[in-house]
Structure 1
């Protein structure tokens, strides 16, 4: 549906060349709600604006529904853009026009007749829940209502692609949730492909099925939302994931553990899918001569798949701890050891099994 092929964008800023995009290679499939996340200055807005040629790429190609818009004629570009709706962070409404005329603007500019405009505008306003606000002006609306007007305006031409440029960052949490639910309905009921950029990982978690992570004008990681949340590969992605899924034990807890007079080690046990419902920890405590002190636990659901982790203290002699960890790993559950500074290291399974066998 949308394909970025080695796309770069260079701006001239005070005589200096600034690379906003660097050889972007990325595909958005039909029916996706694809999220692009990154910190301010990562290049997200520039990326999304190349799709409808609000920014022309310096090099490379942006292919939309099989066509490179940059190579089309002026009239062809205008026709192609009718199939691409866009929602903006700050709504971009015309304050001197009421809701009806704000939504109708794309149709009026395209020369639709009066009856067709009325039918399409009122149908779209009904869908976004604002039919009764048709005669209101933007300054009479809440932030969430203004964004719904922006969404209606983007939908009124029946596009197959919807671009969302930080569509919820100016909204409060409750309103954000209602807008995200509306975007999900648009995707499901109209089969519209959505490309959304954001700096909020909660937005990605809530509605996206695939995600790309941007840093310094580059895509540094892509995958399904589940894959990226469960197995982040870069430090930037891990920081974003931690913003919505807390899995760190407070340092005060580590300090209390240091003051205890028994031998123990701390592990993070990660559960995915069906593993999340298994009583593995309680079984381990029954089979092996170890005490298990749960320090922290978290479970969430992404795309219908549960996953989470437990941070536990295993108390006992080192041999029994090694055997217990070997058992947990044998259940195809990932285990990491948490060392004193709070960092994590993978378990050397061959060493653990060897120690468990030979005592």
Structure 2
């Protein structure tokens, strides 16, 4: 478990101070895959680097497995850090060493017996699918293979926590999916808690159980990935969700609607779980004197739960449209007006 309590990180830049983290409170439970998302400069890297003390926090406290690393002796700190693995955006491999030696390095530094090192490295290279690359050097590998080496190295000391610092942002989409699937496998088979920082909402959707949105050093929104996707509360969260849902109505469609004379209204309808299969629009067309025009629609899956998103135009009398809205509100869906009276 990782806990941030009132964490503040301030950098001194000459006479100026830059507050990278501002009173952050966050709890990541054992076994979670937890994502922290934010734009460049939001404080993501500072946040994750405070966990293993690559950055020293200015105020507050970070505990890992109920240990405050700042309160440990040097020997205790070394032991605690071995329990925290980290993978990096640009891999951070030793170019002059083989794949085997790169993965073995944490164990070599711990002065583990050679046979133990060999067994552990062989096991990890099998796990990440690179046993045949043991004698290769990093410059002989693809980006995805380099990241797999980085992951194997991070797992060498059998950590209970894995930190991922923009671990897929240097990779192409297909390789990104392969790395994310590997991280899922690590979480499931080793029960390792994973903290991921990223600026890509697609990464959050694909792998994370929970997410926190970081803006200007503050957590502005947090919750399950499903809740944040379905009901984003802040502008920055809505922007991130739209980046993967692609649910904006084109301006050309708005222009066509405005050119019409009828009273019409536009609504976003969000479906959850079993309700994605309900014939709601068909029922509305049969029950009420309104025309239903689907402007946009998509169905995806979040945490193995179907998630549907429709943008609908209702055309007809205001009184009848209001009856439709009352009916929809009684169903297992969420509806919100997007544009009022654009006729």
Q: Could you say what secondary structure the match of 2:35 adopts?
A: strand
For residue 334 of structure 1, report the CA deviation from its aligned partner.
2.1
Find the counterpart in structure 1 of residue 291 from structure 2: 291
1:182 aligns with 2:176: no
The equivalent residue for 1:19 is 19
> 3-state DSSP class of the match of 2:245?
coil
Distance 2:325 2:68 in 1: 54
* Superposed displacement of residue 341, structure 1: 9.9
Residue 279 of structure 2 is aligned to residue 279 of structure 1: yes
Partner of 1:237: 237
- Does the 8 Å contact 1:246/1:298 carry over to 2? no
**Do 2:269 and 2:333's aligned partners in 1 also have CA atoms closer than 8 Å?**
yes
Q: Quote the Cα distance in structure 1 between the aligned partners of 2:113 and 2:66.
A: 30
C-alpha separation between the residues in 2 aligned to 1:140 and 1:40? 31
Q: Distance in 2 between matches of 1:81 and 1:98?
A: 24
Asked if structure 1 preserves the Cα contact closer than 8 Å seen for 2:264 and 2:341, the reply is no
Who is 1:7 aligned against? 7
- SS state of the match for residue 197, structure 2? strand
Distance between the aligned counterparts of 2:276 and 2:210, measured in 1? Answer: 22
Q: Is 2:137 the partner of 1:123?
A: no
Tell me if structure 2 keeps the 8 A contact 1:247–1:296: yes
Q: CA deviation at 1:340?
A: 5.8
2:55 and 2:337 map into 1 onto residues whose CA distance is 47
The 10-residue stretch of structure 1 (242-251 or 97-106) with the greater mean CA deviation from structure 2: 242-251
- 1:86, 1:165 within 8 Å by CA — same for their partners in 2? yes
Q: Secondary structure at the match of 2:158?
A: coil
Distance 1:337 1:281 in 2: 16
Q: Give aligned pairs, total.
A: 342
Report the counterpart of residue 320 of structure 2 in structure 1.
320
- 5+ long unaligned stretches in structure 1: 343-359
Give the structure 1 partner of residue 170 of structure 2. 170
Distance 1:341 1:26 in 2: 42
- Which moves more between the two structures, 246-255 or 98-107? 246-255
TM-score (normalised: structure 1): 0.93
CA RMSD across the alignment: 1.3
Give the Cα–Cα distance (whole angstroms) in 2 for the partners of residues 60 and 267 of structure 1.
44
Alignment correspondent of 2:110: 110
Q: Please, which runs of 5 or more residues in structure 2 have no aligned partner?
A: none
Deviations 1:211-236 (A, max 9, x none): 11111111111101111111111111
The within-5 A match list for 1:225-264 is 225-264=225-264
The answer as to whether partners of 1:254 and 1:340 remain within 8 angstroms in 2 is no
Instruction: State the Cα distance separating 1:192 from its structure 2 match.
Output: 0.4
For 2:333 and 2:194, the matched residues in 1 are separated by 35
Match status 1:337 vs 2:298? no
| TM value normalised by structure 2 | 0.97
- Which stretch shows the higher mean deviation, 161-170 or 243-252? 243-252
Q: Distance in 1 between matches of 2:322 and 2:217?
A: 45
Q: For the structure 1 residues 10 and 261, does the alpha-carbon distance in structure 2 shift closer, same or farther, using more than 3 Å as the test?
A: closer
Counterpart in the other structure of 1:309: 309
Distance in 1 (CA, whole Å) between partners of 2:259 and 2:276 is: 32
Report the more deviating stretch, 172-181 or 269-278: 269-278
CA deviation string 1:153-174 (max 9, x = no partner): 0011111100000000000000
In structure 2, the residue matched to 1:152 is: 152
Separation in 2, partners of 1:46, 1:264: 48
- Please list the CA deviations of residues 8-42 of structure 1 after superposition, one character each: whole Å capped at 9, or x if unmatched: 11111123221111111111100000001011111
SS in 1 for 2:39: coil
Deviation at 1:338? 2.3
1:93–1:341 CA distance, 2 compared to 1 (3 A): farther
> Cα offset for 1:277?
1.1
Aligned residue runs from structure 1 range 76-91, under 5 A: 76-91=76-91
Q: Which residue of 2 aligns with 1:92?
A: 92
Match of 1:54 in 2: 54
Q: For 1:312 and 1:105, locate their aligned partners in 2 and report how far apart those are by CA, in whole Å.
A: 57
